[in-house]
Amino acid sequence: MKKFDKEIDIELFRKISGIADKHELKLWLIGGYVRDLLLGRKSNDIDIVVHGDGIQAAKILAKGIEADNLSVFKNFGTAQIVKDAYEIEIVGARKESYRRNSRKPLVEDGSIEDDQNRRDFTINALALGLNGNNFGELTDPFDGINDLKKKIIRTPLQPEQTFSDDPLRMLRGIRFAAQLDFTIEKDTFQGIVNAAERIGIVSGERIADELNKIMASPHPGKGIKLLNKSGLLKIVLPELHALTGVEVHNNRAHKENFLHSVQVLDNIAKVTDNIWLRWAALLHDVGKAETKKYVEGHGWTFHAHDFIGEKMIGRIFKRLKLPLHDRLKYVKKIVRLHMRPISLVEDAVTDSAVRRLLYDAGDDIDDLMMLCEADITSKNQKKKEKFLNNFKLVRKKLREIEEKDRIRNFQPPIDGEEIMRTFDLEPSPKIGQIKDAIKDAILDGEIPNEYEAAREFMFKKARELGIDAAQQD
């Protein structure tokens, strides 16, 4: 019997062990904490299974270790203890059975073996004893320790049963593959393929939570590819699945837009942990399926795919229960603007175009440029270097204009209130026209971004609109 007593030989577990023996509690460490411990990954989220009443055991342990906080969840038969940096969840060992139309199990008291049987994957069914007579002793009925060594994700029971019982486990398996860079075992993956349609009984919130964890993982592209290969992507994110495949016309083929999007996601994941920028990277070309067209003499076009894609983002976020306020606005903006920087490469580009991009992107200009650089997926190294050098020039132009004109996030020096006071006018379309004209004059370089220049321009525009000079100061 393998023992890992040295790995868990810390003051907290020794103290818990002593309390357990004193009160005749049988305890095991189980799940993700054990998995991460054996992989050398740091984790402060601890799961403990007790033979018997989990809530009663939690109350005894909380008192014994002088916990910072104890939360009891009677409906679920669980409790959470907070001690220093650790969050410890206590649950009684149980066995579960499922109904066809629900992922909520019927729960009965059980043994440690029953509890391991209900786990999603063998690497999450590993348990280490916490009592004095079995401290650190491994209980591993499904040989999860070898799966851990081989970097394999496998279900403890038949895959069809595991995934049919709780379809969310399909997404969890793919998420673990992306987080840990593991391989899903052949029969287990086929089980996901066979049960894919069952994902329909899972709530949008739970699906979104797993998708976000995939997007935040070290290998998000791997997760997205597995979602597609399994058939789950077509169900949960059909707009992205629609980018798969290549169409040929007159011996001319377009780029495989799905694989390109996944590569852009992986590229940007190397330089940022910003999950919403990662979402923008994955969905930046999502409008191409709707805008794809073959034009004789020209080839394949995806005209206005950036604007169509922006509109699609809102529908996607709403369906997936993703944030609908600032996060959505940010992703839509990045998708809408992702084609703009490339137009600034030419030497002849005007300062006005640079100012307008700075104004439209605001504080997100650096994120936008990061996406543009990640969008270079050519396998031709010379071509790739050329594009990267071009974007260095764009960044230089942006810095020069920003330093000179202070355009990023600027507000015109004169607002609508001042225009109404100056001309003694009530709110009307003419106020907006004057205000927009001042903004455009600054962006076009016609006047500097300064109050006196803007005020002089305001009077000029008022005269053009027929506002009587007698109304002016």
Q: How long, in residues, is the chain?
A: 473
Q: Name the strand (E) or helix (H) holding 343.
A: none
Q: Give the count of beta carbons closer than 10 Å to the beta carbon of residue 263.
A: 17
Taking residues 18-26, report their average pLDDT.
Answer: 95
Q: Which residues of 235-252 are buried (b: 16+ CB within 10 A; e: fewer)?
A: bbbebbbbbeeeeeeeee
pLDDT of residue 235: 97
Q: Do the strands 293-295 and 252-253 form a parallel or antiparallel pair, or are they unpaired?
A: unpaired
pLDDT at 273: 97
Q: What is the tens place of the pLDDT at every residue in 412-466?
A: 888 899 999 888 888 888 899 999 999 888 888 888 888 999 999 999 888 888 8
Closest CA to 175 of 209, 125, 127, 126: 209
Buried b (16+ CB within 10 A) or exposed e, 404-427: ebebbebebbbeeebbbebbebee
* Residue 74 to residues 23, 80, 90, 91, 96, Cα–Cα distance (Å): 22, 11, 12, 11, 17
Burial bucket for residue 222 (CB in 10 Å: 0-12, 13-18, 19+): buried
Q: How many CB atoms lie within 10 A of CB 14?
A: 14
Residue type, 152: I
Q: Decide if pLDDT at 470 tops 50.
A: no
Residue with tokens 């008291």: 109
Q: What is the largest CA-CA distance in the chain?
A: 97
pLDDT score for 466? 84
Residue 255 — pLDDT band, cuts 50, 70, 90? confident
Q: What is the pTM of this model?
A: 0.85
Is the predicted pLDDT of residue 99 greater than 60, yes or no? no
For residue 165, what pLDDT is reported?
85
State what percent of residues in the chain have pLDDT above 90. 64
pLDDT at position 95, please?
67
- Mean pLDDT over residues 49-57, rounded? 93
pLDDT at 350 over 90: no
Span of 164-173, 181-190, 274-283, 458-467 with lowest mean pLDDT? 458-467
Residue 250 predicted with pLDDT over 90: no
Could you tell me where the beta strands, DSSP code E, fall in 150-208? 152-153, 183-184
What's the CATH class of domain 151-236?
mainly alpha
pLDDT at 172: 97
Q: What is the 3-state secondary structure (H, E, C) of 384-453?
A: HHHHHHHHHHHHHHHHHHHHHHCCCCCCCCCCHHHHHHHHCCCCCHHHHHHHHHHHHHHHCCCCCCCHHH
Rounded Cα gap, residues 97 and 104, in angstroms: 9
Q: Look at residue 100 and tell me whether its pLDDT is greater than 70.
A: no
Pick 363 or 330 by higher pLDDT: 330
Domain-wise residue ranges, the chain:
11-149, 151-236, 416-471
Q: H/E/C letters for each residue in 289-303?
A: HHHCEEECCCEEECC
The rounded distance, in Å, linking the Cα atoms of 124 and 182 is 13
Is the CA virtual torsion 456, 462, 468, 473 positive or negative? negative
The alpha-helical segments, DSSP class H, found in 296-338 are 305-319, 326-337
- Tokens representing 170 are 């399909």
| Exposure class string for 30-47: b at 16+ Cβ within 10 A, else e | bbbbbbebbeeeeeeebb
The DSSP bridge pattern shows strands 183-184 and 152-153 to be parallel
Q: Residue 112 is which amino acid?
A: I
pLDDT of residue 193 exceeding 80: yes
How confident is residue 106, by pLDDT bands cut at 50, 70 and 90? low
Res. 473 pLDDT band, cuts 50 70 90: very low
Predicted local confidence at residue 426, as pLDDT: 87
- Of 147-161, 334-348, 364-378, 401-415, least confident by mean pLDDT is 401-415
Average pLDDT, the chain: 90
Q: Which amino acid is at 191?
A: G
Two structure tokens written together for 39:
């992989």
Percent of the chain whose pLDDT exceeds 70: 93
| HSE-up (13 A, CA, CB side) for residue 66 | 1
Mean pLDDT of 132-139: 95
pLDDT tier for residue 75 given thresholds of 50, 70 and 90: confident
pLDDT at residue 411 greater than cutoff 80: no
pLDDT-derived band at 283, boundaries 50, 70, 90 = very high
**Pairwise CA distance, residues 211 & 224, whole Å:** 9
CATH architecture of 11-149: 2-Layer Sandwich (3.30)
Which of the four pLDDT bands, split at 50, 70 and 90, describes residue 348?
low
Residue 469 CA: distances (Å) to CA of 10, 429, 456 = 83, 19, 13
Q: What's the pLDDT score for residue 77?
A: 85
